[in-house]
Amino acid sequence: MLLSRRVSLLKPSSTVAVMNTAAALKAQGIPVISFAAGEPDFDTPKVVKDAAIAALQAGHTKYMPTPGDAPTRKAIADKLTAENGIPNLTPDHVVISAGGKNSLYLVFQALLDAPAPGQPPWDVLLPVPAWVSYAPIAELSGGRVVELPTTPDSAFKISPAQLERAITPRSRILVLNSPSNPCGTMYSPDELRDLAAVVERAAASIAPDLCIVSDEIYEKIIFGGIPHCSIGAFPSVAERTITVNGLSKAFAMTGWRVGYAAGSGPFGLQVAQALSKLQGQVTTCLPAFIYPAIRAALAHCAADVESMRQAFASRAELIFSLASRLPNLPAVRPTGAFYLFPDIAAHLGTTSASGRAVRTPADFAQALLDEQRVALVPGEDFGGPAAHHVRISFACSDDDLREGMRRLGDFLRGLKR
């Protein structure tokens, strides 16, 4: 059977693959410590579950408007206006989709296109390391990914000068993800203001079609003293920014699959209409009983979100402290999300205790899983300097963090040159 070229060339998500492997081993009774999943280990708040149950019992089981029902889109628009400061935004500017990943896919499909004959593709400017799905989604949408490499010295953040050098007349999308998966760091408001100024200048001269896609799914999981800031709040770029968010991470609702996208003014309305048209040919809408749960989360879960944030803040300090005691495992202190992104370059080119060659992060991760039953995500697919990093999720209990890092230490001390 002949498959499409785009599917044949598509790489599977490495983060999902490791998460599934760890889950399968646990199901077999193997005591795996999983540092793989980008998923809070907390339960969804009761008020959210109760709202969905009540909606089901009330018969909310029919098709809904494609972008989401009006009360829920209003709740999201009000949230983005009041909390994020995004201007000129109404419920008609909001489209609710089946998860943040689905929202991003629709946004890329709406903003990118296959190149016309004789024309180069649109460029997607992607600071790397970056979440593994941005590049495949951009390429599936006809774009060409232009990596903007970062380093631990800058906390994995691009500079305004670096961005300015990268922009050309074919630059279409700048992707920003703050707080960052996989880096666990975030941009300050001043840093985002400086990047917005670069985009404003470029849009007025060489790149009039340049837009910003800001993935803010971890906006409430912050603990490093840096306030979250939405770049779409700056008037200079508000009407060329699409903000993507969802309820998966902050509200412990990963399995509910709730994402949304919104932008300001006529631009945001045009994009929302495009997203709705696309979604009408793909998923149509979320299940009807999910929408009351979304409203309940936004209206009633501030205390739950803060409790989880405090737990992640404590875990961030614990995992950073534990990693700092291990040999040759430098890492940037996390300030947001729930990831540590250590550099394992000193351990590449070694042999594990069982005789496995450790040449790459993928080798490292597989040997660690086989020998110590600890699952983490190798860095290759995150791009740029991630080729000598691994991602450790600390969305798990303190006991698992301590035991997993103890096993990691044993593994490191068993490596031989």
SS3 of residue 244 by DSSP: strand
Where does 177-289 have alpha helices with state H?
A: 189-203, 265-279
pLDDT value of position 74: 98
DSSP structural state of residue 10 = P
Question: Measured between alpha carbons, how far is residue 184 from residues 40, 130, 334, 336 in Å?
Answer: 15, 11, 5, 5
pLDDT score, position 17 = 76
Contact 87, 233 (CB under 8 A): yes
376 or 37, which is more confident? 376
**In contact, 337 and 184? CB cutoff 8 Å:** yes
pLDDT at 127: 98
Examine the pLDDT at 407 and tell me if it is beyond 80.
yes
Mean pLDDT for the chain overall: 96
In this prediction, residue 262 carries a pLDDT of: 98
Q: Does the global pTM surpass 0.75?
A: yes
Q: What percent of the chain has pLDDT over 90?
A: 90
Residue-wise pLDDT tens digits, 148-195: 999 999 999 999 999 999 999 999 999 999 999 999 999 999 999 999
385 or 251: whose pLDDT is higher? 251
At residue 12, does pLDDT exceed 90?
no
Domains defined along the chain, listed by start: 5-44+303-412 (3.90.1150.10), 62-289 (3.40.640.10)
Q: Which amino acid is at 243?
A: T
92-142 pLDDT tens trace: 999 999 999 999 999 999 999 988 888 899 999 999 999 999 999 999 999
CA distance 107 to 372: 41
Find the mean pLDDT for residues 307-333: 98
Note the helical H segments in 156-188.
160-166
CA dihedral angle for residue 93, residue 45, residue 248, residue 344, rounded to 10 degrees: 150
User: pLDDT at position 350, please?
Assistant: 98
Tell me the C-alpha distance between 251 and 269, whole Å: 27
Determine which helix (DSSP H) or strand (DSSP E) holds 324, and give its type and residue range. helix 302-324
pLDDT digits (tens, 9 = 90+) for 29-81: 888 999 998 899 999 999 999 999 999 999 999 999 999 999 999 999 999 99
In this prediction, residues 317-346 reach a mean pLDDT of 98
β-partners of residue 383 are none
**Rounded CA gap, 382 and 292, in Å?**
36
What tens digit of pLDDT does each residue of 189-217 get? 999 999 999 999 999 999 999 999 999 99
